[in-house]
């Protein structure tokens, strides 16, 4: 999918997740909006996948370590046909598979996540298995920036370069806000890029809401043989909804009817703009 189409797709996924959260009256809105561009680039352009055969051995693996922001992932998996899209209406309802964190009973989910700090270690194991088995799949692991306060993240960060896992791509959704406020006030992270580089990772810093930059960064990995890649995706929490952007309150806020209508109107206008951009090109 071309980048203009990817932008339009990301806006549609944002619309879908907002409707889903509004209907369920629960969800992690801000972080799902910030990571939508990342997931759209991965699932519609970068990763090797087969929705009809989700356990295909040659597939690339994706781990949503920041599992609480699952809404964008559910919408993408439903859109791609990993499960019936109609099932999105059951999100967080009694008896549903589509709970508030990734659930490996759902096709396309590699592992249950939600307890922060676990995903990268599992990603290291998957990438190491690929190396030892002579397989060429890549492993992508999305973490939150607040998650960087977990000690287990840094144990895995040591292991990746030690085993020369250049088939491993870690991504930090660096939106600088967590449930209780600024990441730098809760637990200062900077200089975050330098820390990952010191652990032996090839660090690429990009605008994580810029589709062209996302595609370039993911397509280039691994750019240094023998080194895992860390993509520092600088994003905006609540991206795509003007009144939610950079507002910590939207971490776990559910839009009311009026807010949903305003947000959908903004995103519809964005889609129309991208479609016009595509026609011009």
Cis before 222 (ω within 30):
yes
The residues pairing with 62 across neighbouring beta strands, listed in sequence order, are 140
Dihedrals phi, psi of 152, to nearest 5 degrees: -65, -25
Q: Half-sphere exposure of 213 toward its Cβ, with a 13 Å CA cutoff?
A: 13
- Which tens digit of pLDDT belongs to each residue from 58-73? 999 999 999 999 999 9
Q: How far is CA 140 from the centre of its chain?
A: 9
DSSP 208: T
Does 280 have pLDDT greater than 90? no
List, for residues 230-266, the tens digit of each pLDDT value.
Answer: 999 999 999 999 999 999 889 999 999 999 999 999 9
What phi and psi values does residue 135 have, to the nearest 5 degrees?
-105, 155
Confidence class of residue 279 from pLDDT cuts 50, 70 and 90?
low
How would you classify the pairing of strands 181-182 and 168-174?
unpaired
In this predicted structure, what is the pLDDT of residue 179? 81
Q: Is the pTM of this model over 0.95?
A: yes
CATH for 3-280 (3.40.980.10, 3.40.50.970, 3.40.50.620, 1.20.1260.10): 3.40.50.970
What are the pLDDT digits (tens) for 102-153?
999 999 999 999 889 999 999 999 999 999 999 999 999 999 999 999 999 9
**Tens-place pLDDT, residues 23-68:** 999 999 999 999 999 999 999 999 999 999 999 999 999 999 999 9
CB 81 within 8 A of CB 51: yes
pLDDT per position as a tens digit, 203-232: 999 999 999 999 999 999 999 999 999 999
């Amino acid at each position: 999918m071309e980048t203009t189409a990817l932008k339009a797709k990301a806006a549609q996924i944002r619309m879908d997740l907002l409707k889903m959260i509004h209907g369920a009256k629960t969800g992690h809105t801000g972080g799902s909006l910030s990571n939508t561009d990342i997931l759209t680039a991965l699932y519609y352009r970068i990763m090797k996948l087969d929705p009809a055969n989700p356990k295909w051995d040659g597939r690339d693996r994706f781990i949503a370590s920041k599992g609480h922001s699952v809404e964008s992932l559910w919408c993408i998996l439903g859109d791609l046909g990993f499960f019936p899209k109609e099932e999105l209406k059951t999100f967080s309802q009694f008896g549903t598979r589509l709970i508030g964190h990734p659930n490996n009973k759902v096709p396309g989910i590699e592992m249950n996540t939600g307890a922060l700090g676990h995903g990268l270690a599992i990603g290291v194991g998957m990438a190491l298995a690929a190396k030892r088995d002579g397989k060429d799949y890549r492993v992508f692991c999305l973490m939150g920036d607040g998650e960087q306060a977990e000690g287990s993240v840094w144990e895995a960060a040591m292991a990746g370069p030690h085993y020369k896992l250049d088939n491993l791509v870690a991504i930090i959704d660096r939106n600088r806000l967590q449930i209780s406020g600024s990441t730098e006030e809760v637990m200062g992270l900077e200089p975050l890029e330098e820390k990952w580089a010191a652990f032996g990772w090839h660090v690429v810093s990009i605008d994580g809401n810029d589709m062209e930059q996302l595609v370039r960064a993911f397509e280039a990995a691994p750019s240094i043989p023998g080194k895992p890649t860390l993509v520092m995706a600088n994003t905006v929490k609540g991206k795509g909804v003007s009144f939610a952007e950079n507002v910590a309150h939207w971490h776990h806020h559910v839009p009311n009817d009026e807010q949903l209508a305003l947000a959908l109107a903004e995103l519809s206008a964005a889609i129309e703009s991208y479609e016009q951009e595509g026609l011009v090109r």
